[in-house]
Amino acid sequence: MQYVRIGYAMDRRSRSLRCLVVLIGALLADSSVLVAQAADSLARGLDSTSVTIRGDAVARLSTLGAANITRAVRARLIALLENEGATQFTTPSDTADGDERFPGYIAELASLVVQFQDPTSLRGLCLAGLDVNSSVQQFVAANAATAFPFLEQAWVTPLRQEGTLETWGRILGMQPSALTQAQQLTIRQHLLDASVTEPVGFLWAVSLGQLADLAPVVQNLVNNSTDPIVTGEATSVQAAIVPAQASLSNAALLTLSQSWLDGSCLGFSGLRKLGCQVLDDEFAVAVKNVGANAGAEKLILDALIVSANIAVKDGNITSTVGTIIVSNAKLVRSRL
């Protein structure tokens, strides 16, 4: 009889435990439904012509956590970010109540959207979020092949140059095999141009990508810039990349320098294209002879240096590219 009572008690506890589990499951399910309903309700504010109301909706959705935002609301947030970037934040339907709110609103919107890790958000992130935080740049860089045309679009978008440059630096630092050669050379061409037109953004790109092969250009900015901000930033970046430059092998240093030449020559024709091809051929010989007879290698590098200086003088390559070639070739020569 005692065994019967014990068995009955155990069975009753088992039934109670199962009921508790079912109850907890129901509560969790109800909670998920409530959160989803809250997200859907808050998302109504995303359609407002008021920047303040849109900003409040984004802020409240952020408090729910990205994991609790439904797929439909995610799509609306992604579309909103892309629209804000594509219209340059000047949609005619917007009321004028949000001029001061806009930067914070866009930053919070991009910070929320990037958490979805959704490739469909790349255009919006490129057009509106590259200067928000590093997680946006890292996500875009990790999807460089898909993001490439959007980065090109961002490059010609006012106030987006520095964030774009930083992202390009990250991409080159990751050695992006997913990009075509033409795409990689296009990025290199943009960075070379920016060393003159956007030197601070260029320096940040060098720093973030640890592009030690560009140390000669950074040193040139240290020595010749008349802007104290540029000089200070260049000095800091130069100190940070010198160890990385020293660790580059002779073959790597020459190959990377050749890539900058190729990037700078992209789109050239006529005599300029011919001048670039001559230098390119000399680079190929120099790379092929790395580690061979030191005396012969020095002669090859001397010839490359002379040719680069002549190409600068003739206007076939820019002085910036000439600095990269000559300085890096001299560094390799000094190691022999």
Q: Which of 86, 116, 146 is the last residue of a domain?
A: 116
Determine which of 28-32, 210-214, 266-270 has the lowest per-residue pLDDT on average: 28-32
Residues of the chain with pLDDT > 90, as a percent, come to 72
Does residue 291 belong to any structural domain of this protein? yes
Rounded distance between C-alpha atoms, residue 287 and residue 303, angstroms: 13
Give how many domains the chain has, as a whole number: 2
pLDDT of 22 strictly over 50:
no
Rounded distance between C-alpha atoms, residue 86 and residue 129, angstroms: 12
Q: Which two tokens stand for residue 110?
A: 């991009």
Label each residue of 112-179 as H, E or C: HHHCCCCHHHHHHHHHHCCCCCHHHHHHHHHCHHHHHHHHHHHHCCCCCHHHHHHHHHHHHHCCCCCC
129 within 8 A of 106, measured Cβ to Cβ: yes
Does residue 207 belong to any structural domain of this protein? no
pLDDT of 13 strictly over 60:
no
Determine which of 160-164, 208-212, 222-226, 228-232 has the lowest per-residue pLDDT on average: 160-164
Residues of the chain with pLDDT > 70, as a percent, come to 84
Q: Which of 77, 92, 116 is the last residue of a domain?
A: 116
pTM attached to this predicted model? 0.85
Does residue 305 belong to any structural domain of this protein? yes
pLDDT of 27 strictly over 90:
no
Rounded distance between C-alpha atoms, residue 259 and residue 246, angstroms: 19
Q: Which of 67, 86, 116 is the last residue of a domain?
A: 116
Does residue 209 belong to any structural domain of this protein? no
Residue span of the structural domain in which 319 resides:
248-336
Does residue 236 belong to any structural domain of this protein? no
pLDDT of 225 strictly over 90:
yes
The HSE-up count of residue 241 (CA atoms within 13 Å, CB side) is: 26
